[in-house]
């Protein structure tokens, strides 16, 4: 048996492959960017064929760097969630571009459903809110607009899936059409309690059942790769949505533990154990994981749509920084935010506001405002949005006592200290940051017998801790300014 787990970590802006040995050390990796397309305001698309080609390329190159396919015991998948793909079963070709989770084109459909009084029923069944964020609204839009042929869908000629479904279909040469339970729980179509497709939701969104994949555990025998891809079949032993993968990676396998990942967006996820959470503060009830070895959990989640995208925008569109690392020095140089607030509602506001029509705002500009203040305001926004989530979690009876963080933005020490100050919580940063990929690897390793869930939860990740030290009056003033800025952006 091989000595590595190969993780394909397909994110919103890039796809990576990382090989881990039995001690969960990263031994090889490769990455490629995935292009985002913006055909209209509020629309975000990707080419499914590009996602597959890039993912296969980085996987093959990483396998080569480990010494060949004989070194690989299993493949694991972590993926951007809610992104919606439809392809022909016969040819395996996408029928249209994938509609990315950030896309807002189905807002009118969501407004119609909410206006018809369906929102409470949707939440009762799926745990989710009626919002363009989720897969069913995107798929319903594709069917309504004729982007995909309803007759072909009803005849079973077309397949729907999230990115995990798409990658497993392609990896297995079309032998397996499945979706892991965490990704299924983000579609609006799954009954959260039973973990089965809901006929009621399928009828509500007018989705043909023949399009749907089989719902499977996050860990288990999900298929084997087609022999020609890597030279011989490799078992696929886990697949999980990226935020739930990070929950596992951070070892949050006990009720009451939580993590927040700062990537393209930011996602606070708390393990609620075997008890399905119920939110009255516009948070999401979802599946946390199902290890396939007897350990499973529900989770409560708050989703921030734009976090790392702010840094990318400051770099690529405004040219205020040349690289992400520049933000820390500029934030320190600014000294204060000079009254400048940046509400990054590029694609609306997520939890707990859920304002699909909100647009970004930079407020409080004066003649004394400099580039450093705008950059600092962009970083501060991640902390303020996190505080909004922390308050909502507490109001829902799921208080987050400390913030265990991961993702690209957490390398910034200034931001981590500001986060602790604004949230009035200790912030814990693990030494190894790729928690999404690590969580998927851990699930596969559980199938291989390399580790148990109990051992994984007890693992020492080597934490750096940031504790609050801001004056309470300063914190209160900053939060009041943020609340005014959000109210303006939300309209």
pLDDT band, very low/low/confident/very high, at 460 (cuts 50, 70, 90): confident
Distances (CA, A) of 121 to 113, 128, 130, 376, 461: 10, 10, 10, 41, 41
Q: What is the pLDDT of residue 433?
A: 82
Q: Please write the tens of the pLDDT for every residue from 181-203.
A: 999 999 999 999 999 999 999 99
Residue 354 has pLDDT above 90, yes or no: no
Of the two residues 462 and 121, the one the predictor is more confident about is 121
Would the pLDDT of 146 be above 90? no
Q: Among 230-239, 409-418, 426-435, which stretch is predicted with the lowest mean pLDDT?
A: 426-435
% of the chain with per-residue pLDDT over 90: 77
pLDDT of residue 1: 66
How sure is the predictor about 85, in pLDDT bands with cuts at 50, 70 and 90?
A: very high
Q: How far apart are CA 385 and CA 303, in angstroms?
A: 9
- pLDDT given at position 282: 83
pLDDT of 288 higher than 90: yes
Average pLDDT, the chain: 93
* pLDDT tens digits, one per residue of 201-230: 999 999 999 999 999 999 999 999 999 999
Range scoring the smallest mean pLDDT among 119-123, 130-134, 252-256, 328-332: 252-256
pLDDT in tens, 358-399: 888 899 999 999 999 999 999 999 999 999 999 999 888 888
pLDDT at 175 over 80: yes
pLDDT value of position 259: 92
Q: How confident is the model at residue 301 (pLDDT cuts 50, 70, 90)?
A: very high
Residues 72-95: what's their mean pLDDT?
96
User: In this model, does residue 353 exceed pLDDT 90?
Assistant: no
Q: Among 100-114, 238-252, 341-355, whose mean pLDDT is lowest? A: 341-355
Domains for the chain: give ranges and CATH numbers: 4-243 (3.30.420.40)
pLDDT in tens, 319-333: 998 888 899 999 999
């Amino acid at each position: 048996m091989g000595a590595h787990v190969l993780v394909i970590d397909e994110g919103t802006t890039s796809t990576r492959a990382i090989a881990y040995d039995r001690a969960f050390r990263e031994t090889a990796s490769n990455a490629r960017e995935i292009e985002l397309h913006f055909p209209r305001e509020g629309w975000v698309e990707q080419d499914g064929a590009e996602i597959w080609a890039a993912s296969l390329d980085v996987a093959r190159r990483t396998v080569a760097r480990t010494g060949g396919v004989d070194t690989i015991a299993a493949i694991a998948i972590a993926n951007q969630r809610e992104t919606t793909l439809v392809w022909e079963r016969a040819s395996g070709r996408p029928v249209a571009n994938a509609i990315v989770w950030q896309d807002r084109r189905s807002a009118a459909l969501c407004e119609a459903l909410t206006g018809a009084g369906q929102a409470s029923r949707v939440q009762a069944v799926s745990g989710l809110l009626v919002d363009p964020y989720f897969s069913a609204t995107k798929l319903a839009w594709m069917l309504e607009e004729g982007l995909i042929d309803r007759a072909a869908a009803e005849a079973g000629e077309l397949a729907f899936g999230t990115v995990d479904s798409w990658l497993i279909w392609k990896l297995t040469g079309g032998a397996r059409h499945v979706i892991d339970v965490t990704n299924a729980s983000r579609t609006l179509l799954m009954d959260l309690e039973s973990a089965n497709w809901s006929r009621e939701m399928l009828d509500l969104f007018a989705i043909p059942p023949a399009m749907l994949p089989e719902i499977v555990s996050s860990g288990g025998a999900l298929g084997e790769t087609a022999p020609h891809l890597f030279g011989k079949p490799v078992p696929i032993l886990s697949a999980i949505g990226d935020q739930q993968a990070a929950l596992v990676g951070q070892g949050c396998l006990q009720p009451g533990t939580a993590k927040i990942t700062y990537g393209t967006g930011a996602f606070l996820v708390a393990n609620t154990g075997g008890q399905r959470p119920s939110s009255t503060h516009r948070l999401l009830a979802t599946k946390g994981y199902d290890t396939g070895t007897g350990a499973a959990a529900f989770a409560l989640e708050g989703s921030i749509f734009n976090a790392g995208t702010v840094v990318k925008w400051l770099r690529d569109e405004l040219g205020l920084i040349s690289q992400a690392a520049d933000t820390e020095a500029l934030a320190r140089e600014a000294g204060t935010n000079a009254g400048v607030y940046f509400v990054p509602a590029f694609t609306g506001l997520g939890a707990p506001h859920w304002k699909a029509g909100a647009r970004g705002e930079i407020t409080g500009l004066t003649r004394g405002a400099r580039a450093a203040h705008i950059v600092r305001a962009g970083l501060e926004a991640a902390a303020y949005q996190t505080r909004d989530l922390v308050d909502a979690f507490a109001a829902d009876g799921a208080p987050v006592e400390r913030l265990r963080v991961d993702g690209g933005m957490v390398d910034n020490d200034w931001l981590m200290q500001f986060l602790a100050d604004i949230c009035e919580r200790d912030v814990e940063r693990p030494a190894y940051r790729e928690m999404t990929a690590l969580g998927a690897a851990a699930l596969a390793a559980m199938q291989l017998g390399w580790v148990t869930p109990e051992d994984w939860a007890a693992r020492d990740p080597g934490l750096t801790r940031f504790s609050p030290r801001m004056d309470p009056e300063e914190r209160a003033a900053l939060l009041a300014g943020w609340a005014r800025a959000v109210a303006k952006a939300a309209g």
